[in-house]
Structure 1
Amino acid sequence: MKVLVVDDEKVTRMALIDAIAECGNYRIAEASNGEEAWQQISGQAVPPMMVCCDIRMPGMSGLDLLQKVRAHPGCKDLPFVLVSMVNEAAAIQEAVQLGVSGYLVKPFSQQDARNRLSKLLLLAASKTMERPALTMARLKLPQDRYRAYLSGLQNQIGQLLAELAEGAGPKAPVSSGLRQKLNSLKANCATLGLWRAQQLLSRDTSEEGSSGLVSEYLGEIRQQLHQQLFSQD
């Protein structure tokens, strides 16, 4: 699953990327300013599952970006973490009023960043899917059966990606047969409480180039399933 790191200082940006990488198997995107970050949040097929952003940047600040995110219907619930200096209490208070999900105070050690970000990433993940314990209780499934269902979805996605790769190319429309299989996958994801996967598969794929978009969606969902299976080990 994708996490977006935004900071105009490359050293801090790389330190945050390293800390997130130590927390799990995440795809990490980066941006050096707020404008670039906004394009990645609002303009890409698969939005990030969490944003980690410096509060002070030239041009669009972290607070400005947070405000835009919260005002946009498509990403208003996106988990958003601000990185601030210890003396920026007023800005943090403003961020709380805007609906920030959490914050990290600079200067930080890698261990402090990893510990804090690990908790925030778990919070972000909880917004993408139902807690496994609740899913198993709702469906009356033992853990091994639940894991078997997740593995089955991974296999289903692998087959769909192979079918897309053998098709007419990433700019081709989605065939009716493939659309039926995607609807079946969406229903299975809904049953297992995989909300982010269900939302991605509900997106419009009627335009030219939809095969490429579907491949992006399926890649994101497969990584979410991998992360979930890994976390159950």
Structure 2
Amino acid sequence: MKTPALFDLTGRRALVTGSSKGIGAALAAGLAEAGAELVLNGRDATALDRAREDLTERTGAKVHAMAFDVTDETAVRRAVRDIEDGIGPLDILVNNTGVQHRELLLEVSAANFERVLHTNLTSAFLVGRTVAAGMVERGHGKIVNVCSVQTWLARPGIAAYAASKGGLAMLTRGMCAEWAGSGLTVNALAPGYVVTELTRPLVQDPAFDSWIRGRTPAGRWASVEDLVGTLVWLAAPASDFVNGQVIAVDGGLTAVV
């Protein structure tokens, strides 16, 4: 296979959860620009339609919107069935949905701790195994879970988030252990600190901004576009023998002390 074909997603169909804005929208755009047909997901149908229209206009790709709650098992099963019956079989799944909650462990409620775990970890299990059932039957598929540098690193106030991302890394490996023999690859993308709408207050905090730039060998925050190349590689034939791995895209942050 020639090198360009190794990264060509023409004819592939991808579902990206949490893709109406931010990192998810950028990842979906990257897959579309590589040739994939996209199914965007979120809970806000209006925001999702706007994202679909924008992505269609920018890339010319086939883009669909499917609003459903990834933490609701019944909704997940119904949505995946509707996608595969109405649009076609899924070749690529990106589990991107996530939520942050900043509160010290001695203060965080059990309900908020569970909410973070359910949104960041259980949703990937629910969507992952539902989509994987069809992939296993067809003998091929690519699943990419979106982790974080908090997969390995902790900071005060975000223990629930770090626990969810650490769990997601091991879920990725568990999926690999069970499904690799059926032709699936399951890997994870672990972004560093990325400029998004949600992190804008941190970017604008001089002390935190200075700390991130000093802590990261590249000397800057990531942009959402910095994540696209690694995702396309993990979704494309180029990574067919890469399985069960968590790939840090962090400007070197996890490589140094």
TM-score normalised by length of structure 1:
0.27
Name whichever structure is richer in helix by fraction: 1
TM-score normalised by length of structure 2:
0.25
